[in-house]
């Protein structure tokens, strides 16, 4: 079995309440052969971060060479924020995800260095 598929299977029940699934949908939408699928990305990124992504060009250039971790690690001081790594031979980046019940589940907020929970939008 492909290691990325094995990671998804091991991650548990798929869906918006599973940050690994959301990160996998993000990866797939960013790496579409015709360019990032903005409709799908609109469903899996935080609305507050949308303007920072631009056309998702940086993520589209980086992620095709990366494998995805099979587990999202919760922030130590906030279980509503989680981090999931993407690794290639030359790069390691982290997706910062946040659980947003009002938006239907987990959303990707950033890609790069981990973002501290205090700087991530939350549902009140």
Nearest Cα neighbor of 78 from 115, 112, 103, 111 is 115
- Vertex 10: Cα angle to 6 and 16 (nearest 5): 105
What pLDDT, in 10s, does the model give residues 53-79? 999 999 999 999 999 998 999 999 999
* pTM score: 0.88
What pLDDT, in 10s, does the model give residues 79-88? 999 999 999 8
The values of phi and psi at residue 91, to 5°, are: -135, 145
Residue 7, domain member (yes or no):
yes
Number of domains within the chain: 1
Radius of gyration of the chain (CA): 13
Provide the CATH number for the domain around residue 42: 3.10.450.280
Tokens representing residue 88 in the block:
């290639």
Residue 17, domain member (yes or no):
yes
Residue 46, pLDDT above cutoff 50: yes
Q: What is the pLDDT of residue 13?
A: 63
Residue-number span of the structural domain to which 27 is assigned: 3-119
C-alpha dist (Å) from residue 73 to 48, 57, 66, 90: 22, 26, 18, 22
Residue 110, domain member (yes or no):
yes
Residue 124, domain member (yes or no):
no
Residue 11: pLDDT band (50, 70, 90) is: low
- Determine the average pLDDT of the residues in 113-119: 97
Residue 58, domain member (yes or no):
yes
What is the pairing mode between strands 78-87 and 67-68?
antiparallel
């Amino acid at each position: 079995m492909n290691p990325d598929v094995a990671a998804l299977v091991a991650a548990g029940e798929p869906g918006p309440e599973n940050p690994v699934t959301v990160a996998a949908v993000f990866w797939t939408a960013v790496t579409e052969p015709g360019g990032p699928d903005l409709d799908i990305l609109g469903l899996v990124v935080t609305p507050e971060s949308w303007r920072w992504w631009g056309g998702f060009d940086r993520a589209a250039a980086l992620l095709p060479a990366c494998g995805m971790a099979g587990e999202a690690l919760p922030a130590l001081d906030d279980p509503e924020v989680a981090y999931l790594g993407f690794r290639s031979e030359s790069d390691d980046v982290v997706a910062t995800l946040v659980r947003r019940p009002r938006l239907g589940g987990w959303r990707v907020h950033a890609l790069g260095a981990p973002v501290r929970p205090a700087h991530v939008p939350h549902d009140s």
